Structure 1
């Protein structure tokens, strides 16, 4: 049993193996020899989710496990029980607990203070590591090897962006450029972690705060919606900061001389972070990316429980 809470806990070899497993599953779907028959998978989502919750539920069933869903008020954490006590109780009944929250990642660490139940981060305030797994499965489908591939991310330095940066650092020879509005960039500790990891992989992670710094050799352009998880922003007129970072046909042309693939973690707000023409265009693999979340979830569950 192992936890999957942060990509900072994962080695380049381990991350590559998980992505390779997800890629293999996407190709053949043969899971009989990897069955999680009789395993019980708790799925605790305290915030809304379409893709990730469905993906982990589907993945559990496909692997022969039984998913047990919990809503935001179903566990007695909501009535005052400590998170660590809840983890100790559930660890005596479940094999894994998949958790999504807008709260701090430290809550998942508290749940993981036991050695029987795997705790899997399906999104926290800091990271979205399982999203990165399915994203890199999708990139491997598109480009086969990621050595030398250049990913351009445009938008807020949110939890998805943080996981993309950390996943890039774990991937030998890959490069990612992040264009984030001033005041909405990646956290300094994430960039420091990436620098430490990439020293052994020769990966390159760069961040700029102006579209004037946009490269012209991107292989893929990635964006997320401007309001992460739909959480309202306090700053009035905050959209003005993001307007130059909308992904439209012009940005796609400028980002790559030879044409770039478009990616989005979805849901999308059409006309905000991306135009409908790009999202629905022939270069978009955003919906394939979403469907690959099942294979990413399967790979993470197998890596944690086998």
Structure 2
């Protein structure tokens, strides 16, 4: 019996640690199948709607390639293509799309939107990112971690920077569920929401995961097997960039913080895009204005042999493929 069949993938809290680790291992299996040119069209004949309120490189590409590899036809519906909550309610849109498509991906702002799509469409819905959660990213991240260390239990992953966001929240919950120690290094004003912390702590008591949330960057990285960061301003945020940069600069992943782990095998992770140099218009603007060569991670560390950021980016595709196949592929486990 397949416990995932027909189920939506909206947030990590909806699953057990065992189920999440199954998806991680299934993703690795599907990645091996593709590498060896072995067909795996578990969604053959299906049609998939890809709803995007936010722009995307990895999520859109991963869902498109994954759907094609699984034998499905993906249809991109951008913010200007549909009336999601504008001239048509989310519930009405969900019912229309559910009558035409076999599955729906949503990447946008409100978690309520993706929850309504799942409730009203009658087909599996997959959260490609909301302001609250980033669950498909987590399968890719912990798949990357497991590939390097062969196990997840009692590994320590440290997240640095802006931790009042979807990635930090998802890492806390997913790590707790999987028995991974999660350290958060962030200023007090940008630490995870207390409600999320409490939920993660309750889970951690049952799995043995150790959680640490501190404003001391060096204490946060001590003993870390992986260092992880994200951009300092999330998409859609209206903030004073100068103040945010000044606040978070002590949490920049640089050579000094890597050395402070006290370990030689620490890997470097980032969900991308990254402002590690001045080769983007945004990075150049910030670099010139604030006299910096990089923001959340230095170029030296980003491009170092310890960096697995592009492997992590690749893993978005098999991770999403595993989620889609498990929930809509009528598989027998």
TM-score range (shorter-chain normalised) is over 0.9
5+ unaligned residues in a row in structure 1: which ranges? none
Q: Which residue is equivalent to 2:56?
A: 49
What is the TM-score normalised by the length of structure 1?
0.95
> Is this contact kept in 2: 1:19–1:134, CA < 8 A?
yes
Report 1:70-81 matches (<5 A): 70-77=77-84, 79-81=86-88
CA spacing shift, 1:17–1:229, aligned 2, 3 Å: same
Matched, 1:11 2:34: no
> Is this contact kept in 2: 1:60–1:66, CA < 8 A?
yes
Q: Which residue is equivalent to 1:251?
A: 257
Looking at structure 1, the residues matched to 38 and 129 of structure 2 have their Cα atoms a distance apart, in angstroms, of 25
What is the TM-score normalised by the length of structure 2?
0.87
Please, which moves more after superposition, 54-63 or 24-33?
24-33
Q: Which residue is equivalent to 2:203?
A: 197
SS, match of residue 88 in structure 2: coil
Q: Which residue is equivalent to 1:95?
A: 102
> Is this contact kept in 2: 1:87–1:111, CA < 8 A?
yes
Post-superposition offset of 1:299: 0.7
Q: For 1:114-147, what per-residue CA distance to the aligned partner results, in whole angstroms no more than 9, with x for missing partners?
A: 3621111100011100000100111111111011
> Is this contact kept in 2: 1:7–1:163, CA < 8 A?
yes
> Is this contact kept in 1: 2:213–2:220, CA < 8 A?
no
> Is this contact kept in 2: 1:40–1:95, CA < 8 A?
yes
Matched, 1:229 2:235: yes
SS, match of residue 54 in structure 2: coil
Post-superposition offset of 1:192: 1.5
What's the Cα RMSD here?
1.6
Q: Which residue is equivalent to 2:287?
A: none
Post-superposition offset of 1:257: 3.0
> Is this contact kept in 2: 1:40–1:68, CA < 8 A?
yes
**Residue 23 of structure 1: which of 28, 50, 74 is its match?**
28
Looking at structure 1, the residues matched to 305 and 236 of structure 2 have their Cα atoms a distance apart, in angstroms, of 27
Looking at structure 2, the residues matched to 204 and 25 of structure 1 have their Cα atoms a distance apart, in angstroms, of 31
Post-superposition offset of 1:34: 5.3
Ranges of 4+ aligned residues in structure 1 off by more than 3 Å:
30-34
5+ unaligned residues in a row in structure 2: which ranges? 1-5, 277-293
